[in-house]
Structure 1
């Protein structure tokens, strides 16, 4: 039978343990969520009630089913968004990686030995090792809080990635429809100029026009033809970008981008809420706040290194051989003192304090930039809306002038040059209107993104509802 050793802790051990217990104090730095002196409303709007905007599917305001389907596909299958989700899983796993305060490690071994004299011996050994780390300064808790803050920041980064994805795909769709509409306008312009060229030739044959008018109208036809290939390329480029954002190659996109190729127009006003809503709606502000929280926890972790560490460790072993068996146990405290001199450790604490102050300043800077972006986006959105109204009226009036001028040319009441001039005016007016519609849509998108609207929104439809066989399937 193996003898079970007995160990008595030295008196000095008790003295050290008692000393640590008497001097123990938490190094935790109290954390308070940062605050900002927000106004009640944005300067360019009337006072609004508070609003939860992060789950609002604002892109549905365009009333465009194709756009809704594209956003659904992108949110489901975009690669960058999938990477951001994986980073959340990694960050959450990091929290679990932190070793527990108490742990036990079982082990076992079986050996069979043969001696030179031919005798054999079988030995069986089972062992249980355990440790318990005292944490009177709260260092481990603060490590967990810092890791949890980083995990929550990673979760907010998913919302930021989702918001960026929605921004990119809606802008790409608006640009696609703009270029498609511009291509239609250029083709209409080409037909109109071809008709004008034919009319000029008839008038020239009747000696009612001069050669220079014929050449000029033919030149305008050639000029318009030269503009079409560039627009065709722009349309293809936007289609390819949209496919990539949905995680597909261009030939795999299940949704037709050629049907209903009209420029999207808004169907409801913008809900801006109030400035303080930005704190919960904008993911970048939430990321900055969580990073600040982690930085505060890091201060306490660094301060804990200034004090001794105490752990209780031990093993219990059960051994069995051909000749004997028994239980052996070892148990006792261990103390780790901080390195001397402690100037480097104190410098680390000072650095952590500085990092926390930097994180707080970065949070304030993020809030200020957010307010600036919202105010600028609001001003641009309102101005774009006014520009669209003026452009619509201009296009309507120039089209009326063009029709009147064409009638006068037929009755010899106006010249070809006047007809060409009015034709140019209506073409330019249509293009200006298309540009303003595009910029109005983009300013609406920018405003919603700057408000943090839709960062956690989940579309109602699933990808199964927009796969081949739906109304959007390519034919």
Structure 2
């Protein structure tokens, strides 16, 4: 596999007038054209999956209605998924808050004011007192007025600080949505894993119970032979040991069965009793019937939620860097307060009652002990760290798919060989029965052949379970939209 070459535009400060802001481009990655392990059985590789939904509801190829129902309910009822949906709403609301700073803030107000002027007022005291050159008060000391108007405030975003902050908030909202999609994949794969483990434990327990029954017959026969004087106590001890060992497996399988059932109840947000009722009917471990479309390594960049989140993190850090750079330049403000003012309410809306105040302001932080420059360096470091994190995530994703492709191929081969061995043990049981019926061997030989058959059946179930889990893991590693 070719080494990943990642090209990322680092922060470049390009003056536009007085402004300076970094540009961002999505990383361009040079990946291998195909997977190393693309030739394994059960996969369909070599064709890009970009823009396709080829693995949508892929779990339906297990042909298990109960499994399909559990996955549907989990995606509707899972509590962490509901929390993730609320986080999307929170991120979108925060984005709207930041976007609002790009437009003027307008407020309305109205009221009634009454006040009195003191004759000792250093400014207006002489106007309300008779102690002045005119010998009479110029204005009344008691004043009142009705007023109504607006307050308008607007920061002119000449250098793009607010726009960059809004862009970063918008990207965070995108990340929340992608994270919810990734959590959907995680929850769905967890349901699949626990259901398969549950059915596997059930089937293995059934085999173990059948084996216990056969070994009880074997023990009874050995004891009978021993009592007749033709057998030894060693044979009895061996039969009892085999029976006890088989019985010891059953509680472990029941523990596993219960643990996975409880886990499914948690995933679906249901009570353990309800889940027990849903899974009361024993069903065999389902097998996957279909091809897994692997696509090309480059498809992972758009299909895996973790890679999309990592790329969006780069974009968000770049936007926050742009805001930090713009913060070193002046901030300009426009404010205005148009309104009406009158002593009598009937005159409030006359044209002569109009009043207004307008102002233009500027704020520029000329010295802050290097805090602004340090914030820029901090954001530059965060951007570089996010770029390295993205590169590592891509490398890990490719490696994960390659590992699972190899494991899936080997798992199928292992299962196939065990199936051949199982067929041989079945043939051995048939031959043992024929020889016993012909009087050529004793019944202990038949029971031993049956014991080997049961043991091989257990190994086959374990192999099928391993293969099924490989299917789940490989589909998860390949990504895609799993939402129903």
Partner of 1:36, secondary structure, is strand
User: Could you tell me whether the CA contact under 8 Å between 2:222 and 2:231 is conserved in 1?
Assistant: yes
Which stretch has the larger CA shift, 210-219 or 127-136?
210-219
1:232-255 deviation line (CA, Å, top 9, x unaligned) = 222122111111101111123496
Partner of 1:272, secondary structure, is strand
Partner of 2:293, secondary structure, is coil
1:235-292 deviation line (CA, Å, top 9, x unaligned) = 1221111111011111234962132520111110111011111111100111011111
Shift of 1:114: 11
Distance 1:272 1:53 in 2: 12
Corresponding position of 1:193 = 215
User: Could you tell me whether the CA contact under 8 Å between 1:160 and 1:283 is conserved in 2?
Assistant: yes
The answer to whether structure 1 residue 71 and structure 2 residue 71 are counterparts is: yes
User: Could you tell me whether the CA contact under 8 Å between 2:78 and 2:269 is conserved in 1?
Assistant: yes
Alignment of 1:205-354 (within 5 A): 206-253=228-275, 256-322=278-344, 326-341=353-368, 343-354=370-381
TM score, norm. by length of structure 2: 0.83
The answer to whether structure 1 residue 369 and structure 2 residue 396 are counterparts is: yes
Q: RMSD in angstroms over aligned alpha carbons?
A: 2.7
Corresponding position of 2:61 = 61
Shift of 1:105: 1.2
Corresponding position of 2:192 = 170
Which stretch has the larger CA shift, 65-74 or 217-226?
217-226
Q: Larger Cα Rg: Structure 1 or Structure 2?
A: 2
The answer to whether structure 1 residue 426 and structure 2 residue 424 are counterparts is: no
Distance 1:255 1:92, change over 3 A: farther
Corresponding position of 1:147 = 169
User: Could you tell me whether the CA contact under 8 Å between 1:395 and 1:433 is conserved in 2?
Assistant: yes
Distance 1:75 1:122 in 2: 64
User: Could you tell me whether the CA contact under 8 Å between 2:181 and 2:483 is conserved in 1?
Assistant: no
Partner of 2:360, secondary structure, is strand
Corresponding position of 1:50 = 48
Corresponding position of 1:105 = 107
Distance 1:340 1:415 in 2: 100
| Aligned match for 1:391, one of 410, 418, 424 | 418
Corresponding position of 2:30 = 37
Distance 1:292 1:102 in 2: 30
Corresponding position of 1:461 = none
Shift of 1:202: 4.2
Distance 2:110 2:87 in 1: 37
Distance 2:435 2:214 in 1: 16
Partner of 2:393, secondary structure, is helix
User: Could you tell me whether the CA contact under 8 Å between 2:19 and 2:329 is conserved in 1?
Assistant: no
User: Could you tell me whether the CA contact under 8 Å between 2:215 and 2:451 is conserved in 1?
Assistant: no
Unaligned runs of 5+ in 2: 1-14, 40-44, 118-140
Q: Which has the higher contact order (CA 8 A, sep 6+)?
A: 1
| Aligned match for 2:155, one of 127, 133, 138 | 133
Unaligned runs of 5+ in 1: 1-21, 459-475
Distance 2:250 2:377 in 1: 64
1:296-334 deviation line (CA, Å, top 9, x unaligned) = 111110111111111111212322324986333111110
Distance 1:407 1:193, change over 3 A: farther
Distance 1:281 1:53 in 2: 10
TM score, norm. by length of structure 1: 0.84
Distance 2:157 2:115 in 1: 45
User: Could you tell me whether the CA contact under 8 Å between 1:121 and 1:322 is conserved in 2?
Assistant: no
Partner of 1:33, secondary structure, is coil
Partner of 1:294, secondary structure, is helix
